[in-house]
Amino acid sequence: MPIYHQLGRVPRKRHVAFRKDDGSLHYEELVGNEGFAGPSSLLYHLRLPTAVKEVRSYRGLGWSAEGERVLRHRHFRTAKLATGPSAVLDRVPLLFNAEVALQMARPKKEDDFFYRNGQGDEIVFVVEGEGVLESSFGELAYRAGDYVVIPRGVLHRWRLGPSPVRLLVIEGAGYARTPKRYRNEHGQLTENAPFSERDIRRPERLVTHDETGEFRVMVKSGNRLVEMTTTHHPFDVVGWDGYYYPWALSIHDFEPRVGRIHLPPPVHQTFEGDGFVVCSFCPRPYDFDPESIPAPYSHQNVMSDEVLFYANDEFMSRRGIEKGSITLHPDGLPHGPQPGRTEDSIGAKATSELAVMVDTFRPLLVSRQALDVEDPTYHLSWAGADSK
């Protein structure tokens, strides 16, 4: 994220001796993508960040898709998914391709280990609950409605608040970022962007753990989990600075655009990845021309699969959905409002819908777990059959 940030103590210059009170050195670590050319941060550790005493393969992730790809509109009721206790090990894959994956997590207890995704950036939408994302970069509070962006390589742990936490994890193989058209040549978000740097929340409190002993770290790489045992607490950073760290943006801080007549979905864009975009559909007044049709027109998004995650039970063009529903409208078919929704939208003043859209540029596969919660008649709902 192109905002410089610093927490804790850092030396006057990069790559110089930075000593502790006893005269010994702090250990500098650069974390960044694209070698030494992309966004990066420099961290200063009490002990060597490379010190591990054991490494072992934990397990493969083994995602499998339905046997034969089915071409029809799909609806999955993810609220019915059974998920395991961990926020990171028990994520249920729903839709995926080589560039992006959507997964659901409903953690029941805090992990007693730390986690690093070594193969993808994560945009985690907090569907419900609250807590603190703990990382080498400090503590970042999260709450329902937040997108928590965790660049690859960031060691972290999800701490859970008292109420149930539900997470939609959007994992991209490329670099998750704000849309280029929202940024000027200096990287700053422009006045035309629907959110600003002021809306971006960065780690706030750096807690330095000066503890030796055995600590478990899980690393995801090559679609496998590897377990490492370190010789000291990995969150032993006394200070850091740079442009690479976890950050949060609330969907409620996205300023929706409204026109006299219908504006197309790109006005809702919030993030871009490689091979996908993420859009936010937020509560807003409707189009204000008396003849305008606020509901979208039917459309074929050729060369794109369109996924909607419904964060509440209202969506202007859709019926039969509930909080936690996911619809998949694949390339190759037109889709649009269900019967009556276009007519009903004329003259309506506002919508309270809240939804996250992920448009992918290549086809998505449906996981076997998603089939367990599929609404089997959704694709017929435009012909008058009810979607139950």
**DSSP state, residue 163:** S
Q: How far is the CB of 74 from Fe ion (least distance, A)?
A: 14
User: d(Cα 379, Cα 388) in Å, to the nearest integer?
Assistant: 11
> For 168, which DSSP code?
E
CB of 303 closer than 8 Å to CB of 297: no
- Separation CA 261–CA 170 (nearest Å): 31
CB of 306 vs Fe ion, minimal distance in Å: 5
d(CA 126, CA 131): 10
Which residues of this chain interact with Fe ion, rule CB under 5 A?
306
| Shortest distance, position 126 Cβ to Fe ion, whole Å | 24
136 or 317, CB closer to Fe ion?
A: 317
Q: Which is nearer to Fe ion, 359 or 375 (CB)?
A: 359
Least distance in angstroms from the C-beta of 49 to Fe ion = 45
Q: Provide the pairing of β-strand 114-117 with 224-232.
A: unpaired
Identify any residues that bridge with 271 across adjacent strands, giving them in sequence order.
Answer: 278
The smaller minimum CB distance to Fe ion, of residues 171 and 306, is found at 306
Dihedral angle of Cα 312, 318, 320, 326, to the nearest 10 degrees: -60
Question: Closest approach of Cβ 296 to Fe ion, in Å?
Answer: 6
- Which residue is associated with the tokens 């849309």? 179
| Min separation Cβ 301 and Fe ion, Å | 6
Residue 302 or 383: the one with the smaller Cβ distance to Fe ion is 302
Name the β-bridge partners of 388.
none
Question: Cβ 266 to Fe ion, closest distance in Å?
Answer: 11
Report the residue number, 241 or 344, with the smaller CB distance to Fe ion: 344
8 Å CB contact between 45 and 26: yes
Q: Of 28 and 306, which has the nearer Cβ to Fe ion?
A: 306
Task: Output 230 or 317, the one with its CB closest to Fe ion.
Answer: 317
**Least distance between Fe ion and beta carbon 359 (Å):** 8
User: Nearest residue by C-beta to Fe ion?
Assistant: 306
d(CA 45, CA 63): 36
Cβ closest to Fe ion, residue 111 vs residue 306? 306
Min CB(207)–Fe ion separation in Å: 44
- 146: CB partners within 8 A, 6+ apart: 125, 126, 248, 249, 250, 251
**For residue 118, which amino acid is it?**
G
In the complex, the smallest distance separating the C-beta of residue 76 from Fe ion, rounded to whole angstroms, is 17
* Cβ nearer to Fe ion, comparing 236 with 306: 306
How far lies 319's CA from each of 22, 37, 216, 344, in Å? Answer: 66, 47, 46, 12
> Between residues 90 and 314, which has the closer beta carbon with respect to Fe ion?
314
Q: What angle do CA 243, 244, 246 make, to 5 degrees?
A: 120
- Rounded Cα gap, residues 296 and 368, in angstroms: 31
Helix (H, G, I), strand (E, B) or coil at 136: coil
Determine how β-strand 305-310 pairs with β-strand 325-329: antiparallel
Angle, alpha carbons 327-333-335 (nearest 5°) = 55
Q: What number of other Cβ atoms are within 10 A of residue 272's Cβ?
A: 19
